[in-house]
Structure 1
Amino acid sequence: MIKSAIMTSADITGKNGKPIVDQLLQPYNLFATDAGVVNPAVALNPGLVFDIEPNDYISYLCRLGYSDKQISAITSSSISCSSYPEQTDLNYPSITVSLDSKGMEITTRVLKNVGHHVSVYRVSVMEPPGVKVVVTPSVLRFSASSKVQNITVMFQGELGAGSSYASGFLKLTSKHNVVRCPLLLVSSSTGSSNHPTRSVW
């Protein structure tokens, strides 16, 4: 939750309001800036967080093909992958998708409200070039009795010729908070088709 708060509240521009630049004064790409520049004051009140439970990591490691023995060594407890549901992705505050010849991938995320009890967030997307991103639902409503909401993110299209990756971000905006989730799309030849929605941060 702390990592999510730091990433989703990070600044994606410099103090001058312009993109962060490198030593040649050219905008840095996503691999250099990651989620952005940490803003500790804003991170203290992130509004929404992408939470992950310990068992989610175990399920994901099982999905990646690690053996019971290897995972047991990591967790210092006896683990049997047959006892865990298949976890194809982690509920991480960034999304990486590998697009193959189909040009479509779908992933999900779960958002937990840790801000104002009654909040409405509207979703907008800075789409990666050449790819359409559809988020469902486009409006999230939270209350004291409804603190968790799921979203489905569909990517459709293909990267331009000669492009190995493209980036963008989701933005969820309420009256009090702005929550950003970086998006990274890689070509199927660059990414791993076995783990199409793994995160890189």
Structure 2
Amino acid sequence: MSGTSMACPHVAGVAAYVKSFHPDWSPSAIKSAIMTTATPMNLKKNPEQEFAYGSGQINPTKATDPGLVYEVETEDYLKMLCAEGFDPMVLTKISGQNVTCSEKTQAKDLNYPTMSTYCSPLDPFNVTFRRTVTNVGFPNSTYKASVVPLRPEIQISVEPEILRFGSLKEKKSFVVSISGKALKNGTFVSSSLVWSDGNHSVRSPIVAYSIKV
């Protein structure tokens, strides 16, 4: 059996399992750990790809030791909602914080463990994503970026390509750029950014699509 009704209790159980190893981790760190350690699914079996099955098949054991995590704070969500045009007074009531929307963050730059972009069919595109990762693996570690699989329809670059950490909970930022000449109407193109230190593989799905979902 599959579907969100079946997935929800399984993921909740995995989240509790990860929390038992890391009581001080935030919900976003736990979510990141589960997503970035998931096993990729077969792209050919579902036309909607990541929009159907997310980051992949979760792996509870790997999720307890992800190496790096993408953390999102309440303020980050509020800045994103401000950029989406939500009323500051409504956000203040919902969050219990005084929200003025003086700072805004585009949805694509929310520090989420995945990256996706809609591209107008047959039009050239160039999109950048800004992300920050927190080291939860080894105190002294070096992660190198790779993109897999390489797809001819899109070009993906990462700057910088190497992240060096000298302590736990240290944060490093990077920028991912995605470009292409054009996507045919109704196209999904999937790839992944993987940060690896030789022991951990931190995978973030990347999707460019030209169909409204």
Q: TM-score, normalised by structure 1?
A: 0.80
Q: Match of 2:31?
A: 3
Structure-1 separation of matches of 2:38 and 2:118: 25
Instruction: For residue 163 of structure 1, report the CA deviation from its aligned partner.
Output: 3.5
Q: Tell whether 2:196 aligns with 1:173.
A: yes
Q: Tell whether 2:166 aligns with 1:134.
A: no
User: Does structure 1 retain, via aligned residues, the 8 Å contact 2:124–2:182?
Assistant: no
Structure-1 separation of matches of 2:185 and 2:77: 35
Q: Match of 2:72?
A: 52
Q: Which has the higher helix share?
A: 2
Decide which of 120, 123, 131 is 2:145's aligned counterpart. 123
Residue 81 of structure 1: SS of its match in structure 2? coil
The Cα RMSD (Å) is 2.1
Decide which of 72, 80, 87 is 2:100's aligned counterpart. 80
User: Does structure 1 retain, via aligned residues, the 8 Å contact 2:68–2:134?
Assistant: yes
Structure-1 separation of matches of 2:167 and 2:152: 38
Q: Deviations over 1:103-128 (max 9, x none)?
A: 11111110110110111111111244
Q: Percent identity?
A: 30
User: Does structure 2 retain, via aligned residues, the 8 Å contact 1:8–1:35?
Assistant: yes
Decide which of 112, 131, 136 is 1:92's aligned counterpart. 112
Q: TM-score, normalised by structure 2?
A: 0.76
Aligned residues: 178
User: Does structure 2 retain, via aligned residues, the 8 Å contact 1:51–1:92?
Assistant: yes
Name which structure has the greater RCO, CA cutoff 8 Å, separation 6+. Answer: 1
> Following TM superposition, where does structure 1 have runs of at least 4 consecutive aligned residues deviating by more than 4 angstroms?
none
Structure-1 separation of matches of 2:205 and 2:126: 18
User: Does structure 1 retain, via aligned residues, the 8 Å contact 2:115–2:206?
Assistant: yes
List runs of 5+ in structure 1 lacking aligned partners.
Answer: 14-18, 21-25, 192-201
